[in-house]
Amino acid sequence: MNDTGSNSSRVTFSISDSTVTVQDTLGGGSFQLEVGRLSTVQPAMTDRFIFPVDDAVSFTTEKLRFRSQTTIRLRDECGEDLGSFSTTPRELPRGIYSLDITADIKIYLRVCNGAFSAAFVDGYHVDDEFSVTFDTPTDVVLGARSNHTFPEATITVPKSPEALASALPYLGSSIKEFSPERSWPSLRGYPPKIQHGPALRIPNCLSKPDTGVRITVEPSYADLYRIAPLAYYLGADIEFGSDPAIHLDLGYSEPLETATSQLTDTVSRILLKCFYLDTVTRIGGYYSLTRDEYPDVAEKLPFYPENLYELSLSEQLIEYLEVPFDTIEPSIPEWPLTATLQEGPDDMSLLPHLCNTLANVRVDTNQNGSDSSEHILPSVRSTTHGTTSTPTTGQTLLTPAAYRSALSYTAIEQSDFSAGFVFNNAGRAAPLEELFTTIPGRLSALLDDCWTIVTTPTVDQVQRILRSGVDFVYFDDPIVDGQVNCSDGTVDLSSVTDQLPSVVASIDNTELHRFTQLSAVGVLCGMLFTQPPEVIDLFAITVLLANGGSVSQTASLIGTPSRLFGDTTQQIVLPPDGRVPVQIDISPVKDSLFEVTTASPLTNYNSIGSVTICDPFFEEGTFQLMGTTASRTVTLSNEAIIDILSKEPNSTFADLPSYYPYEISVEFIEHAMATEQNDSLLLDSFND
């Protein structure tokens, strides 16, 4: 086997016989390309591609063959989309083309002046073979870009604001290009990690972006924390000064603190505004995906978004900053995370993880300070509210150990999901067991044979349920100092040698900081309920997690309040074919008219900036930005409503959630529409 390519450490190429294998060293994925009559493989220039790639090789061949992983698009020499493929061979005349392949690693196959026929061999589903046959030996350039879901390096930073200010610009080294395309999560990459150390050390593989943008702030940890995600996204250099501002290389400066707006609020508005307008402007770029809200937003802007695409970053920012925030506020997606850090050096290691999600960062100054709750922007709607101090109900405790666990976690297939429940009270266990044994048919594919219930457990039973590989486990008694009480002793979770479940839930009767020690032994997230959850909520948690919901989304949908810890945007389960779990709310309007609202919650797999295709009752071919909602008033029959609720367990009808074990029927629909207090009436029947 021979290695080739340049010196890029993000992707590698290897050749064995007639197979070229591309390995993503930062994302773990790979891609195999079978090449007929393979010539010598040589390193190639990456600038031959319109799209950013980390490395490339070239060769001459007469045939290509590979297994499809998700999508394959054909593009012309200028990057224009020429459509997709089917099992019917598509004949292309001689020219310059690119095959745009979305796989476990991003692949581009550039055809250099060739004519070819291309088609799926047997079908066009995941893992079906795709074949390209050239009329003559043709030069091909294979480019690859890492999914970059793991930090490339670690920056060592001593405990001084000056050192942190020097290090922060290098977090932007993970961003592939500083155009509106960086609003796609796949073009941002995971920033390098930060660790404490005696001296500043920045690895040679990292480079500081040169975007012509500078940010000036006071020399304090608090202000550096507040601006970190914005500086990362803009590729800005950081300087100290008494007047916080953004400075552009065109000579323009934008103050970050005014008489009416504090630094935290101004930075949040600018980040949200720049990011969202990038997602609108990028429609003139690589992927011209029509968005549901685009016509309404575009007509309110003082510029035609697509005209800004080719401008420099500074020129774009000047235009963006002129847009009143109120103009776009209704269209801005729900933000993945609002994080409150503590002033001082201790929280600096969290900054790369927060930048990765473009978090809205606040700082607790312990001085009744500028980031107190009354200053939270009402427009910053967040999936998760995190803190590094003691979280209140509904908040998440953020720790570096939990983010480290998340980096090494891979979501499982739906069929592999399992849940365990440990009760000391048979009266609590019996109703849950009844719910699982009488699962409505629409939920059977999610929940059949995926659950285990143990009552009055022994030490051996608890150890066995942990060793069984369950992904979610609930203990109906509090876990104190990592100890699970059993009928014949205790089980110390931190001493379990096998990997613990990804999500551990219990009753909130312990210090959450002690509970988070479980992150060191493999726990991804934790849920601590303020009171014993109703059994129907435990059932709903199982449904939502199995359907691909994140922990934070799941916690927000059930009735029992909780505190969380860990990277709660993680999906434990990846639905089949990468399907995005969509929340659909159907509300009666009049007669057979209903308002249908769709929401696509943000997760680690569906990050801020990604899109999903709108449902069939919206205009065909339109897309929805993840984290936003889209509504239409449509005519629906009872049968259509039943079909929607059966296919999407995250749905609700007249405020009744379909992730509860109702039998969805015409009678259910009629009762829900006729009953004002339907939720309490129907739920009471399960909780009696």
Q: What is the 3-state secondary structure (H, E, C) of 500-540?
A: CCCEEEEECCCCHHHHHHHHHHCCCEEEEECCCCCHHHHHH
Element housing 320 (H / E): helix 313-321
Looking at every residue in the chain, the average pLDDT score rounds to: 89
Residue identified by tokens 């304090």 is 220
Q: Is the pLDDT of residue 123 over 80?
A: no
Choose between 5 and 296: higher pLDDT: 296
- Nearest Cα neighbor of 357 from 376, 379, 385 is 385
Give the pLDDT of residue 243: 94
DSSP state of 125: S
Q: Rounded to the nearest 5 degrees, what angle is found at the Cα of 50, between the Cα atoms of 49 and 52?
A: 75
CA pseudo-torsion sign 311, 314, 315, 321: positive
Q: Is the pLDDT of residue 160 over 80?
A: yes
Give the pLDDT of residue 512: 73
Distance CA 537, CA 274 (A): 39
Give the pLDDT of residue 369: 41
Give the pLDDT of residue 81: 87
> Please, which pLDDT band fits residue 508 given cuts at 50, 70 and 90?
confident
> Please, which pLDDT band fits residue 686 given cuts at 50, 70 and 90?
very low
The ranges assigned to domains in the chain are 2-145, 154-388, 404-574, 580-687
Q: Is the pLDDT of residue 678 over 50?
A: no
- Nearest Cα neighbor of 526 from 566, 467, 470 is 566
Q: What Å distances lie between residue 205 and 4, 153, 190, 315, 384, CA to CA? A: 19, 8, 14, 29, 33
Q: What Å distances lie between residue 316 and 255, 328, 397, 609, 615, CA to CA? A: 17, 16, 37, 18, 32
Across the strands, what pairs with 386?
339, 396
Report the pLDDT averaged over residues 572-589.
86
Choose between 31 and 478: higher pLDDT: 31
- 591-602 pLDDT per residue, tens: 889 999 988 889
> Please, which pLDDT band fits residue 559 given cuts at 50, 70 and 90?
confident
Give the pLDDT of residue 124: 63
Q: Is the pLDDT of residue 411 over 80?
A: yes
Q: Is the pLDDT of residue 379 over 60?
A: no
Q: Is the pLDDT of residue 374 over 70?
A: no
Give the pLDDT of residue 6: 52
Distance CA 512, CA 564 (A): 8
Q: Which residues, 6 or more positions from 464, have their beta carbon under 8 angstroms from its beta carbon?
A: none
> Please, which pLDDT band fits residue 377 given cuts at 50, 70 and 90?
low
- 193-238 pLDDT per residue, tens: 999 999 999 999 999 999 999 999 999 999 999 999 999 999 999 9
> Please, which pLDDT band fits residue 371 given cuts at 50, 70 and 90?
low
Choose between 201 and 686: higher pLDDT: 201
pTM for the structure as a whole: 0.92
- Nearest Cα neighbor of 516 from 494, 542, 485 is 494
Helix axis angle for 263-281 and 313-321, nearest 10°, is 110
Distance CA 612, CA 131 (A): 28
Give the pLDDT of residue 365: 81
Q: Is the pLDDT of residue 634 over 70?
A: yes
Element housing 431 (H / E): helix 426-437
Q: Is the pLDDT of residue 688 over 60?
A: no
What's the token pair of residue 361?
Answer: 């960062």
- Nearest Cα neighbor of 645 from 598, 586, 558 is 586
Q: What pairing do the DSSP bridges indicate for beta strands 562-566 and 525-529? A: antiparallel
* Percentage with pLDDT > 90 across the chain: 61
Q: Is the pLDDT of residue 5 over 60?
A: no
Q: Is the pLDDT of residue 7 over 60?
A: no
Across 170-184, 453-467, 641-655, least confident range: 641-655
The fold of 404-574 is Rossmann fold (3.40.50)
Give the pLDDT of residue 649: 86
CA pseudo-torsion sign 305, 307, 310, 316: negative
Give the pLDDT of residue 497: 62
E strand intervals along 260-409: 335-342, 360-364, 382-387, 396-397
Residue identified by tokens 């606040």 is 362
Give the pLDDT of residue 126: 61
Report the pLDDT averaged over residues 368-380.
48
337 SS3 class: strand
Report the pLDDT averaged over residues 64-78.
88
Q: Is the pLDDT of residue 285 over 70?
A: yes
Residue identified by tokens 């020129």 is 315
CB 506 within 8 A of CB 478: yes
Q: Is the pLDDT of residue 314 over 90?
A: yes
- 255-283 pLDDT per residue, tens: 999 888 899 999 999 999 999 999 999 99
What's the token pair of residue 142?
Answer: 């294979």
What's the token pair of residue 268?
Answer: 């949040």
